[in-house]
Amino acid sequence: MSGDVHVRICEHLGGRFPGVTRLVLGFQYKAEAERYHAALGEQLSSFGLTLHPEKTCLKEFGRYAAANRKKRGEGKPEGFDFLGFTHLCSKNRKGGFFLRRKTKSKSQRQTIRETKEALRKRMHASIKQTGDWLKSVVQGYGQYYGVPGNIKALKSFRSLVVKAWYWSLRRRSQKGTAMNWQRFTPIVDAYLPHLRICHDFPEVRFAITQGRSRMR
């Protein structure tokens, strides 16, 4: 949104706001989405605010989006980014609808850049200290992004971290004692866990939550 004077004032006074400020809403019918979009714009205008034209849009998405677009001779449904994930319309092994969430490419690149920068600052720390720190980084990444359908991104992230650590150790090594992959592999295996999917599908988690609430 534009015209966020109140936000700028708070930031000037030292207030901090969460980085995620986007809102994603789902509607069953296109007409409902269009009415809400128009009403939201009118409501914001009464406060001197406007919807950002490049960050506010309507997308056809969901279980029937691909089939409906195919009938009209259009391409695949567009995905959207939210909370560090790119959300896509996909299919499972049985051919049914599957909401695929994969790590947003920009988010992964940023995390890798930050990790490399931190490794440069820790270049002369002990292997144990750096290993313990990197272990927490990789585990934290996996706990957040370990959703069904995202295993490829998890493996890619660990691989990039391994390479970054390897070259960090190579740069600090003395001539004649340079780190090589034969020496480095046991170190990696000792500190960096292999990431896996650690979250259930949303409908499974929702069913468990509802079941517990009914028991109470």
Give residue-wise pLDDT tens across range 188-203. Answer: 999 999 999 998 877 6
Give residue 201's pLDDT: 79
Element (DSSP H or E) covering residue 80:
strand 80-82
pLDDT score of 112 more than 50: yes
Q: Which of 27-31, 145-149, 172-176, 212-216 has the highest mean pLDDT?
A: 145-149
Q: Residue 141: which residues within 8 A CB-CB, separation 6 or more?
A: 111, 154, 157, 195
Single-letter amino acid code for the residue at 205: R
The reported pLDDT for the residue numbered 56 is: 85
pTM tops 0.85: no
Question: For residue 6, what pLDDT is reported?
Answer: 40
Q: Which two tokens stand for residue 96?
A: 């049914």
pLDDT for 208 equals 52
Task: Work out the average pLDDT over 144-162.
Answer: 95
